[in-house]
Structure 1
Amino acid sequence: MNFKDLGISNDIENILNKSGIKTPTPIQQDSIIHILNNEDVIAEAQTGTGKTLAFLLPIFENISLSSNGIQALIISPTRELAIQITEEANKLSLAKDIGILSMYGGKDIGSQMKKLKGNIRLIIATPGRLLDHLKRKTVNLSTLRTIVLDEADQILLMGFKNEIDIIMKETPKKKQTLCFSATMDSSVKKLAYRYMQDPVVISVKKEEVTLTNIKQEVVETIDREKREALCKALDQDNPFMAIIFCRTKRRADELELVMHRRGYNCKVIHSDIQQSKRERIMKSFRNADIQYLIATDVASRGLDISGASHIYNYDIPEAVETYIHRIGRTGRAGNVGYTCLFVDPKDSKMLSNIENEIKFKIPRRELK
């Protein structure tokens, strides 16, 4: 099956082909046709399954250039994810210039207000910044046809339920609602069904996303020897591009300082880093100008970094789901990825939980 079979136009398909995207992923195959038919969709799919294009492609097809006003709105829980969706949308706009505006905190609100005076038909926004515009009456959603709640589980986890309620009241009653989420628990379903009419429910199995093409290993160590163990592994592997996950901002900062002194090409990213700087770091990492990205879990969700060949879990995560999201940064688009988890004896219970969840005893790695 190709994108044309799903109802995607030649011009947009050509843009995809130039980016090396020739075959739709399962989530794209299952959802694009329903979205093109203006049906409501609730989809369970993790980052890395191609979910962004699963809703962007049909949105581009459905937007009418002969009508002005905002026709589609994508709500993202984080600035990082909003930036990434915008980047994908901008690529597609080479085929169809629909007028795109991204809205998130840390970006000058004045320039956003200026752009809104032009022909903007698609807005990609975080809840807080969108509410800002709604209060200022600089955004009018009366012409809206489609709304997307992306990473709905994170929207709820980050406490944006009230904001979503307020935003929804500003939209027309008759519209298409799409809800994409990595997990489909009762709170996500409750949120989705509250705003939907007979939604089509789509699910991509976890195993397809998280474990295929990913080689996992564990290094057993103790906390005070972790830095040496990590550096030893990095020297042996010399990865093309790697993300190193730390539990806290402080540990991430300390690790960056040590690695920088030792001559590693690295940068740190977490919520205390200024937004403009975070964007520069992410751009440099995507361009492979930075070899090692040291991150807290703010970066494990929504960062679509297809070039990360290796993931190092310097600290074991506090939840199994987080481990799965972290390692989902690698092994994409048919490439084989590698992940290494450093564990202290006190981490044995969480390691056991991870292995039970993924139904796999992770091989131990001996560092020579």
Structure 2
Amino acid sequence: MKTRPILFLFFLFLTGIFSACNDDDNALDETITPVSNLISPVNNAFVRLDPPSNAAVTFEWGQARAADGTVVLYELVFDKEGGDFSKPVYSIASGTNGLDNRLVLSHGDLNRIADIAGIKSQQQGKLIWTVNASKGLNVQKGTETRMMTLERPAGFSTLPPTLYLTGSGTEAGANVSQAIQFKSISAGVFELYTRLSTGDVKLIDQTGGTPTTYAIDGNKLVEGTQGTSPTTTPKVYRIRLDFNNAAATLTEIESVGLWFAPQSKVLVAIPYVGKGVWKVENTPIEFFQESWGRDERYKFRFTEKNAAGATTQQFYGSTNSDNQRATASTPAAYYYLVPVTAASYDYTYKFQTEADKKNVDVTVRMQPDGPYTHQITVR
């Protein structure tokens, strides 16, 4: 009577063994065919890279096959001309986490890959590419390889998210922890109002760790070197840097003046006091008497000199074409400074009533930590 349960248990044991063996046989079948047909881009394709345009290149290939009919994953790989992909310079899974037999790479992506491969900016270089197919631990290199020539633009493949100014020729000195941060205008574009003097001038992307170093070389940006100041005497500059095209523009700010619209003249020059700030204290203000009342409109005139020595004037004023008189409750945005036209009355501010026939302090702040702005303090 007891033999039946024993036989039944033995039968279940054998069934489990055979089932496990079948599962192992299925799991071990990772046989796949390699990718043998590259579709696009064509062999020896030439691409003149233009990252700001958002242009892209589509890489496409024929499918690989798995013996068990399951999915195959794909990886696009790049190597230098003459390489064998044993140590590719770059690899990336295809679309949908490796499931698609195509991948779209932007010109920005290709510019970074070219940089990794050692192709310098404004130069051409050749890369080879193929596609690896994989299932589990089985990786099959593609049987076809294609070549492409990439022409890199001026500029940097990787744009720094932040930028700082340091060196003995700067206001901050050579202590990196005191470096002055640039204002970020857009991706890869930075601006800073600061004073430079004789000495070293260096750009870094961070103040800790191991920063990437840049320098200004005339009207260009270069990486990995330390530049010198463009002046031997202290001068105030607006520094505009564009890493997208490796461009540097240094404009000397010769003077900043308080422009009084009703008289179309500068009432007082505002001296530079440091770190992007101009300030004049205890200067008298008297509104101009018109037939209709007292006129109190003002803005600011910057006198600038470019690298060629040509002098121009740029006005900074309100975001509004017309304004009411300022009061104690006027919002901060009222005082923001933006480039405006030279027309005397357009985009002007209005002194608060209490400033008439009084002395005031005038502060202009062209600093990187917020909107450019100004302040009027009635004494």
TM-score range with shorter-chain normalisation?
Answer: under 0.3
Q: By percentage of residues, which structure has more strand? A: 2
The two structures have a TM-score, normalised by structure 2, of: 0.25
Q: By percentage of residues, which structure has more helix? A: 1
Which has the higher Rg, Structure 1 or Structure 2? Answer: 2
The two structures have a TM-score, normalised by structure 1, of: 0.25
